Each structure stands twice: as structure tokens, then as C-alpha cells.
Amino acid sequence: MSNALPRPLISRRASSLQGHAKVPGDKSVSHRSLMFGAVALGKTTVTGLLEGEDVLRTAEAMRALGAEVIRHEDGTWELHGRGIGGLAEPADVLDMGNAGTGARLVMGLVASHPFSTTFTGDASLRSRPMRRVTEPLSRMAASFFGRSGGRLPMTVVGTGDPLPIAYELPVASAQVKSAILLAGLNTPGTVTVIEQASTRDHTERMLTGFGAQVKVELLANGGRAVSLKGQPELKGQTVIVPADPSSAAFPAVAALLVPGSEVVLPAVGINPLRAGLYETLKEMGADLTFRDARDQAGEAVADLVLRHGPLKGVDVPAERAPSMIDEYPILAVAAAYAAGTTRMRGLGELRVKESDRLAAVAKGLQACGVTLEIEGDDLIVHGTGKPPKGGATIAVNLDHRIAMSFLVLGMASEEAVVVDDGAAIETSFPGFSDLMNGLGAKIGAAE
């Protein structure tokens, strides 16, 4: 993907969106299922894996580290793991493409193995900070040699004598928490991560399912202390990956914005630590229903039913950010259509995503005629209750969520919206344009 030619896409106003659409598998669960399968004993079978560029890079990394990873023709994935401490030194550099989650988590996985691993990625990933991961992993006795600012390419020199640590996260981050816990798998003793705001808990849930001893203690301030007993014997599992709530956000918001729409998105993950967007949309007055809520392999899922209707501006508290950090770009698009002001608080984390998402969202919305301000880490969008003008070309800077968000904006704006490169969408939502067009959208190649 990093060498792909730009692929401009245009999104024109749709008459309505109708039908059922199965969105790709959850990216967080997909990454982790491959990693845990690679260090478990026996066979792990994964169905519903997201086959986007990011996850495929993680699959290649697991092969390079010695696990057997097979994709069957029916889309089922099979892994035969190496056991805890059994990973092998890769023969070549691990190119993680655009996969920030994959890169940070695999760094944790190899940090407690006595060999060296070099990581690189595309231009976007090479610009992203890794110090938030390398700092706690260094305390566990791993060493890191990278570019200035803690950026890729970077070599991780793992340790054969990892140290158990108790680490308090300075910033809420499921990636950092997970990297430490993954390093803790091959560490004698107990590793503890303290988070002041609860972040997505797929790592804890899945590690428990694979046989690890994980203890979660609720703190008085609403945070959590997550402890892992090192050197467990993980056993291969059958993993059913739910539909990704972050990917579902795009057709969901599109259905709310395009007049006359009614869309059903089956088996979407509604883990409470991932559902902040849907809580916010309901506060905005969205016609959104969770139908047939159920448990699927340890994760809560439901069918999402969405119908077009008016939205109103709301105040989104900063403490909700960890449960919807990837969804703020598409929420900002919804806010542009809402009546009144929407204030999204505490978005500093957006500045260090695939791009500076806070700046990218603001610049793109302003180009489409939306009034807004940024105050510190708050984004304030003033909606009129009417479709924005649109008519702009948006620079996405290799960011898949920026690309999809503005394609959704163009589905109901007065004038069509162009994104300068839709190729990045394949990292998380392969087939996005086809899925949306199947519902009635009008996305095509821009001239």
C-alpha cells in the first residue's frame, strides 16, 4: 500500500441508502487473534478476520516470527503457534505498512524475547511516535534504536531476562497497555498496567480466553489496574471476530444523514469500551436501535438499525474519548449536519494518529463550508441542521478514516466531495466503496 499510486475518489449526493451490509471484522480483535494464536500451543482458528492491509501485515509478521499462518479458501484462518517464549528472530525487516496497532503490539511481543527485530512502515507510520511504547518496555529491560523522536525504522533488542513492572499510563492508550501485557507474557512474575481512564479491553478478554491469568481491579477514580501473571501456557482457540464498530460507524452515520435511509448492520461489536460513538449519536437524537443483542465468543454484538432523521448538537465529555477515539472524524461530520453546536472535548490523542486528525478534520470541514473552532484539544462544530455546501477536495494524508469520513459527508452535501487518495481505505475497510454503493451511495473514481 505504501507504494500505491494515489486514487482520488468522488462522493456525490445519494437519494437514499437502503439494505443490509456486513462490515469487515473488528480490527483490534483481528490483530490480537493472530498474535495470541502465534504464541499459543496447538491450533487457533479465526473466522471473520479483517483482511485489510493492516491486519495482513500482522499476519506476515507472525509468519516471520516463526508461527504457521494459513488462510483457507473459505476465508478461515488457521495458526499453529510457537508457545510462550518460542518466537524466532525474523530474517528480515518487519514492514508494518500503516498498521500502528500492529507495530506497537508486536514490539511488545518481541521485547521479552532474546533477539533483535527491526520495524518499518509507510510514510505515515514512520512519522508516528513510538516512545510511549518504548519507554515502559525499556523498563522491562528491552532496548530500542530508532530515528529521532522515537520514530521508525526502529530496532528492538529484546531481553532474555525481562523484568516485571507496574506501570501507570500517562495517557489512556489501549495500544500501550496491550504492548506491556504482551511483553509480560514471556516475563516471570506479574506485570501490572494502571489506567486512569478505561480503554478498550480486547487484550484482557482474549488473553483470558486463551488461558492466561488476568486480574482486573476497578479503582476508586473509575480507572482500572490490569495484572497479568507471566509465562502462562496459552492454548489455541476458535475466535469469531465481530464486525468492527469503528468501521460500522461510516455506513451508520451515512444512513443518519442521507434522507429516506434505513440500513441494518449485522453482528457489530458493542463492547461498552468501544461504543462511545453510538452513545453520542443517541444523545444527538439519532434513530439508532441495537437489535438482537447477544454474546459472540466473549464479545457483545448486536444488529444496528439506523434510519435518517434530524440530529442536534451535544457536548461530548473528554472521559468518553477512549471509547471512541477513532470515531471523532465521522462524529465531526455528523455534527456538521446537526442543528446547534457540538463540542468534542479532550481530543489531543487525535494529533498523533495516522495523521494529525484534529487538524485534518478541521481543515476539511472548513473547506466544505462548515463553521468550527479548535480551542486547545476541543473541536467545536457549529451545525445548521442543513447539509453543508461540500464541493471541496480533501487531502487525506494516507489516513483511511479521514478519507471515509469525507466520502460520507459528500453523500448528502449540496455539492460532491473529492478525497485525493482513497487507497488508504484498504488498510481497515476493504471494499468500502462497493459496500456503500450497494446501499445506494454514489462513490466513483474522480477525474
Mean pLDDT in each 10-residue stretch from start to end of the chain (447 residues)? 70 98 95 98 97 96 98 98 98 96 97 98 92 97 96 98 97 94 98 93 95 95 93 96 96 98 97 94 98 86 97 96 93 98 93 81 98 96 98 94 97 98 91 97 94
244 a catalytic residue? no
Spatial distance between the Cα atoms of 331 and 289, rounded to a whole number of angstroms: 17
- Name the E strands within 125-218: 143-147, 151-157, 166-168, 190-195, 214-218
Residue type, 298: G
Entry field: residues in the chain: 447
Cell of 359: 487538524
> Which residue, chain included where needed, has cell 526502529?
154
pTM for the whole thing?
Answer: 0.86
> Which residue, chain included where needed, has cell 455528523?
334
Residue 416: which residues within 8 A CB-CB, separation 6 or more?
Answer: 10, 11, 12, 13, 390, 391, 410
Handedness of CA 141, 145, 146, 147 (dihedral sign): positive
Spatial distance between the Cα atoms of 403 and 231, rounded to a whole number of angstroms: 42
Closest CA to 85 of 45, 38, 31, 119: 38
Q: What per-residue confidence (pLDDT) applies to 5?
A: 65
Q: Name the catalytic one among 26, 201, 326, 421.
A: 326
From residue 28, how far is each of 16, 268, 398, 399 by CA, in Å?
Answer: 31, 13, 20, 17
Q: How is the beta sheet containing 339-344 ordered, strand by strand?
A: 315-316, 339-344, 378-384, 371-375
Residue 243: which residues within 8 A CB-CB, separation 6 or more?
Answer: 22, 23, 24, 25, 26, 48, 265, 266, 267, 268, 269, 301
Residues facing residue 287 across a β-bridge: 307
- R_g of the chain, CA atoms, integer Å: 21
Handedness of CA 181, 183, 187, 192 (dihedral sign): negative
> Which residue, chain included where needed, has cell 516463526?
66
The DSSP symbol for 301 reads E
Pick the CATH number of 9-25+242-445 from 1.10.3720.10, 3.40.50.1820, 3.65.10.10, 3.40.50.2030: 3.65.10.10
Top CATH class of 27-240 equals alpha beta
Give the three-state DSSP class for 289. strand
Spatial distance between the Cα atoms of 350 and 364, rounded to a whole number of angstroms: 15
C-beta of residue 160 within 8 angstroms of C-beta of residue 182 = no
User: b or e along 407-419 (b: 16 or more beta carbons within 10 Å of the residue's beta carbon)?
Assistant: bbbbbbbeebbbb
Give the three-state DSSP class for 287. strand
Q: What per-residue confidence (pLDDT) applies to 316?
A: 98
Name the segment(s) of the chain with CATH classification 3.65.10.10: 9-25+242-445, 27-240
